[in-house]
Chains A and B, each alone.
Chain A
Amino acid sequence: MNGFIVENGGLQSSIQDAGRKGFSDIGLTQSGAMDELAFGYANFLVGNPFNTAAIEIALGGASFRAKSEICIAICGANMQPTCNGHSIALWQTYQLRRGDVISFGFANEGQFTYIAVAGGFQTPFAYGSYSTSLKEGLGGIEGRKLKSGDILPTLGARCPVDRRKLERKFIPKYPETITLRLLKGYQETMFDAQAQETFFNSTYTFKGEGDRMGYRLSGEKVIPSATGILSEPICYGAVQVPSHGEPIVLLKERQTIGGYPKIGSVIAVDCFRLAQLKAGGKVRFKEVSIEEAQRATKAFYAFFKEQEA
């Protein structure tokens, strides 16, 4: 068999691709890589199409043993990866031999790291995706986080390009303070001028209250003028504000429908940056136009599409 055996699943590792599409109408969450940028680069480095299943390691502590020759790339938070005890670099390809063990410590900056393998992981395909939805127990390996003994089969073996390395200028940083571009929502009228001013002029703290579903931010309260709206579909990045007044940014494993007022939506490429924010990190919001929002997100996907061509 080509592939990995999970020696230690760490705090929370799971199989993810870019997410589940087309099942939201029966309530299945989108799921997928929390940071599509690091995920995309990992796949790019090993010569995979953008949407190829990879391992997502949250926080750290995981280790894997190669059952065959495998070409890998590790991108995202620096969890000080080692191969047989020797440090290995992120943001480049690495050729593993049969029996090699790669291990991860804990991230000092960022939250998520991706391991892509040439050819991708051939784990079960569920509802149109390889992604694991942990909350719902669907997809991936039995819908759960990876644990010791799990087998992750792969196709590829040798690296497509000898030591492909990401140019330094492309390597993202994971600062402790970030500004998120927000497209104001259709429920903005439920937030009066003062509430909006508070929202855009405050610095929020991510205290670690959150998971793949969404991140709750603490700080100045933004009180909507009504407690609920008629339940309606929720998009990626939606910032909902329950009556406790603290904004929640909804991410990959969000519910598909909800009834809390929304002040707007954080654009996708900034949601990827938010996903990497560590507990204690600070967030500010900045309003953006639809044209600018679409330009930014379009550029992101067009970049990866070009790499595939």
Chain B
Amino acid sequence: MSRRYQIASELSVIVYFGNTIDPLISKEVQKAYQALKANALEEFYEIIPSYASLMVSYDVIRFDFHEVCERIEKVIHHAEEITMSEPKIVTIPVYYGLEVGLDLELLAYEKNLSVEEIIALHTQELYSVYAIGFAPGFAYLGEIDERLATSRLANPRKVVPKGSVAIADRQSAVYPTQSPGGWKILGRTPTSMFDASYDGLSLLHVGDQVRYEPISKEEFLRLGGVL
């Protein structure tokens, strides 16, 4: 598979493995990420994987752009031999009430679907974790049914409540803490996505699989959910 190296800033380079959400491309990214983590941690400040790309931040005193590309390519080239482990399946309970699903009615109108149909489509899939980012423990899940595919809000919300379960394009995610955000919100989970007590701090890791399970308002509150 061919890789494309691009300048992100004077301190970071982004490597593209493709430009679509694709399990095969994601696997290439994950292998490269693991190889870079294992072999080059001292040389690079950050190695961030995403769907089809990976960004490396580096010490500008030590490398110029061309040197860093050569160094990264050398490590990634040997990443082919890494074997990936079986994915872990995590269930996330979601309350899809209108008082927490802030964009459910908007989406129903846009897509000409009932709220019940939206919930059914959102919970039927087994999603893969393609990337962790945006905020601690924020996992990018793909892919939602194309009947739900939707654009981001033209004007992002200044405050999205913690635990909000949202969609954008054909991705889904849970907001681990209150933050600004432009994804459309369908419901809310009582489960913490990021916690110092978790192994690796984040509930989900790249490569895991996720299923959303609809729960009642009573169940949501019983599990510690906050309205």
Q: How far is the CA of A228 from the CA of B51 in the complex (A)?
A: 14
Q: How far is the CA of A290 from the CA of B194 in the complex (A)?
A: 37
Q: In the complex, how many residue pairs between chain A and chain B have their CB atoms under 8 Å apart? A: 165
**Within the complex, what minimum Cβ distance (angstroms) separates A264 from chain B?**
9
**Chain B residues with CB below 8 A from A258, complex form:** 133-134
**Chain A residues with CB below 8 A from B11, complex form:** 235-236, 268, 297
Contact of B52 among A138, A230, A268, A298 (CB under 8 A): A230
**Chain A residues with CB below 8 A from B60, complex form:** 294, 297-298, 301
Q: Is A27 a contact partner of B138 (Cβ separation < 8 A)?
A: yes
Q: Is A293 a contact partner of B10 (Cβ separation < 8 A)?
A: yes
Interface size class on chain A is 35 or more
**Within the complex, what minimum Cβ distance (angstroms) separates B197 from chain A?**
14
**Chain B residues with CB below 8 A from A136, complex form:** 135-136, 177
A167 interface contact, C-beta 8 A: no
B63: nearest chain-A partner, CB-CB: A294
**Within the complex, what minimum Cβ distance (angstroms) separates B39 from chain A?**
15
B4: nearest chain-A partner, CB-CB: A186
Residue of A29, A258, A294, A301 with highest tally of chain B CB at under 10 A: A294
Interface-side segment among A18-26, A74-82, A108-116, A154-162 = A18-26
- The B-contacting residues of A in range 254-309, CB under 8 angstroms, are 255-260, 265, 267-268, 290, 293-294, 296-298, 301-302, 305
Q: How far is the CA of A305 from the CA of B135 in the complex (A)?
A: 31
A124 interface contact, C-beta 8 A: no
B104 interface contact, C-beta 8 A: no
Contact of A27 among B47, B52, B133, B168 (CB under 8 A): B133
**Within the complex, what minimum Cβ distance (angstroms) separates A271 from chain B?**
10
Q: Is A242 a contact partner of B8 (Cβ separation < 8 A)?
A: no
Contacts A25-B48, A242-B182; A233 near B135 (Cβ below 8 A): no
Q: How far is the CA of A302 from the CA of B97 in the complex (A)?
A: 55
Q: How far is the CA of A213 from the CA of B21 in the complex (A)?
A: 27
Q: Is A25 a contact partner of B46 (Cβ separation < 8 A)?
A: yes
B46: nearest chain-A partner, CB-CB: A24
Q: How far is the CA of A53 from the CA of B209 in the complex (A)?
A: 39
**Chain A residues with CB below 8 A from B21, complex form:** 230
Q: Is B47 a contact partner of A25 (Cβ separation < 8 A)?
A: yes
Q: Is A26 a contact partner of B200 (Cβ separation < 8 A)?
A: yes
Q: Is A301 a contact partner of B48 (Cβ separation < 8 A)?
A: no
B90 interface contact, C-beta 8 A: no
A8 interface contact, C-beta 8 A: no
B155 interface contact, C-beta 8 A: yes
- Give me the 5 closest cross-chain CB pairs, A-B, nearest first: A257-B133, A233-B55, A293-B10, A265-B9, A233-B48
7 A-B pairs in the complex with CB atoms less than 8 angstroms apart: A24-B57, A25-B37, A136-B135, A233-B49, A236-B11, A256-B134, A259-B169
